[in-house]
Amino acid sequence: MDIHFHNTASGKKERFTPIDPNNVRMYACGPTVYDYVHIGNGRSFTTFDQVYRLLRRVYGADHVTYVRNITDIDDKIIARSVERAIPTEQLTNETASYFKQDMTGLGLLEPSHQPRATEFLPQMIKMIERLIEKNNAYEQENHVLFDVRSYSDYGKFSRRSLDELIAGARVDIASYKRDPMDFVLWKPSEGDEPGWDSPWGFGRPGWHTECSCMSETLLGDTFDLHAGGSDLIFPHHQNEIAQSTCAHDGATMANTWIHGGMLQVEGDKMSKSLGNFRTVNDLLCEWPSEAIRLHLISSHYRQQMNFSYDGIREAKHILDRWYRLTENESDVGEDEIPNPVLSAAVDDLNIPQALTEMHKLAGGEDVRGLKASAQFLGLMQQTAEEWAAWRPADLDIDETKIEALIAARKQARANKDFTRADEIRDELQAMNIELKDSAEGTTWTIAS
């Protein structure tokens, strides 16, 4: 089955044709580890995971190599370590651990490689040396900068001319730059700032240098797919392309570029000043992880998404129903995913259409197809009992009291004292407890 993606490089939807179908290679820009990731990041990483799952489904799990990096040296990291008065290594190790927990919480598969930028300093220095040798970079005042005028296609990827970029961008007009758009490949470290020895003095790499070197080392000069948020098109990905293309004698860095849309929260741009800043970590304490994931993939990945508590609540109700419908189904296989679901997924990752097809399955008789499709999307990874047993992390409930009230209600109904039975149900509802009566008895869940 052919996959089609909207390729940012060409601006149109194209058939995805890997260089080597036996080793499909994908790179995604990972987090800068100085704090918990917010839900906008969570959406991006979930999108990348969905692409990874699709590639594994079409080409085989053993034939896909997925690299998602960790940026563990950056000015934001240095500033936060100073603010917290801890070493940068302690900060990045701690925050990288939080990130891994959050991504596991959202149901993301482990990438093939999770390189850290600080592990690739020798490769970065070598790439910078190559760029200097090729007259694409220059040293000035202990900085090394990429000369954007030396790359004639600079701006093509972001669809703006160099003059337009200069006019519209906020650039650092520094004395060591020949051109305002020249970007840093290496810069000096001062005082207690972390750094490494180099031919240009003690310092550290620029942000863009890191991704080019990690992808080059782990995936080769040219690989199949590069993913990121749309906010990375310029300058990050434009600069990655410039330095990689020049370092590799004109070779294309990645054949396909995928970019996800931005996220709003409750209809507004997410910001701490508006009080709508949401971290993945906080949300995982408040809601079932699969409900968050379903909400995140319910909008097409290239479109702006409005993240809301109503959206998570609706997603939870959908999963409540799907778990009930499939609770008696044994393990299902990937070959049971119905063709309409797969057809939607391979059409530029049209997960909203796939979900529409799954709602049809839920309304019909193919509940095994529903379960197989949900698992393909990273959902329904637990038993119905485990799903029903979820509780918010900060919920203070007395399960002994709940069970006692359910037993009292059962006795009241046996005594045909339906007024008392209804009073008990109302009391439980006031405690945010929902009851489900069946032939097997009464079960309860937290109301959402």
Two tokens, residue 67 = 């690299």
Give the separation between CA 404 and CA 401, rounded to whole angstroms. 5
Mean pLDDT of 32-56: 97
* 413-443 per-position pLDDT tens digit: 888 888 888 888 888 887 778 888 877 678 7
Give the separation between CA 420 and CA 204, rounded to whole angstroms. 72
Mean pLDDT of 84-110: 97
Nearest to 169 by CA among 186, 157, 152, 182: 182
In percent, how much of the chain has pLDDT > 90? 75
Residue bearing the bigger pLDDT, 149 or 396: 149
pLDDT for the residue 430: 74
Cis peptide before 115 (omega within 30 of 0): no
pLDDT for the residue 395: 59
Domain-by-domain residue ranges, the chain?
4-260, 287-388, 399-446
Give the separation between CA 337 and CA 357, rounded to whole angstroms. 11
Q: Is the pLDDT of residue 106 over 80?
A: yes
List of long-range contacts for 132-136, beta carbons under 8 Å, 24+ apart: 134/246, 134/247, 136/243, 136/246, 136/247
Give the separation between CA 112 and CA 95, rounded to whole angstroms. 20
Q: What is the rounded average pLDDT for all residues in the chain?
A: 92
pLDDT for the residue 243: 96
Q: DSSP assignment of 300-355, as one string?
A: -TTS-EEE-HHHHHHHHHHHHHHHHHHTT-----GGGS-HHHHHHHHBTS-HHHHH
* 312-358 per-position pLDDT tens digit: 999 999 999 999 999 988 889 999 999 999 999 999 999 999 999 99
pLDDT class for 305, splitting at 50, 70, 90?
A: very high
Give the separation between CA 72 and CA 60, rounded to whole angstroms. 32
Q: What is the largest CA-CA distance in the chain?
A: 91
For 4-260, which CATH superfamily applies?
HUPs (3.40.50.620)
pLDDT for the residue 401: 78
pTM of the model: 0.88
pLDDT class for 123, splitting at 50, 70, 90?
A: very high
**CB atoms closer than 10 angstroms to residue 343:** 14
Distances (CA, A) of 390 to 116, 200, 370, 427: 34, 55, 22, 21
Which range is least confidently modeled, 98-112, 189-203, 421-435?
421-435
Interhelix angle 367-376/339-346, nearest 10 degrees: 20
Name residue 101's beta-bridge partners: none
Contact 325, 370 (CB under 8 A): yes
pLDDT class for 394, splitting at 50, 70, 90?
A: low
**Phi, psi dihedrals of residue 145, rounded to the nearest 5°:** -125, 150
Contact 164, 155 (CB under 8 A): yes
pLDDT class for 171, splitting at 50, 70, 90?
A: low
Two tokens, residue 366 = 């193919």
Q: For 107-182, list the strands marked E by DSSP.
A: 137-140, 143-146
* 351-387 per-position pLDDT tens digit: 999 999 999 999 887 999 999 999 999 999 999 999 9
Residue bearing the bigger pLDDT, 173 or 28: 28
Task: Please compute Rg for the chain using Cα positions.
Answer: 26
Say which amino acid occupies 174. A
Q: Is the pLDDT of residue 200 over 70?
A: yes
pLDDT for the residue 163: 73
How many degrees, rounded to 5, is the angle at CA 380 between CA 340 and CA 261? 65
Contact 67, 329 (CB under 8 A): no
Give the separation between CA 16 and CA 2, rounded to whole angstroms. 7
Two tokens, residue 30 = 């990972």
φ/ψ region of 262 (left if φ > 0, alpha if ψ in -120 to 50, else beta) reads beta
Stretch (H or E) spanning 434: strand 433-438
pLDDT for the residue 195: 95
Distances (CA, A) of 289 to 146, 189, 381: 43, 41, 11
Structure letter (DSSP) for residue 298? S
* 216-270 per-position pLDDT tens digit: 999 999 999 999 999 999 999 999 999 999 999 999 999 999 999 999 998 888 8
Residue bearing the bigger pLDDT, 275 or 265: 265
Which range is least confidently modeled, 102-106, 128-132, 241-245, 270-274?
270-274
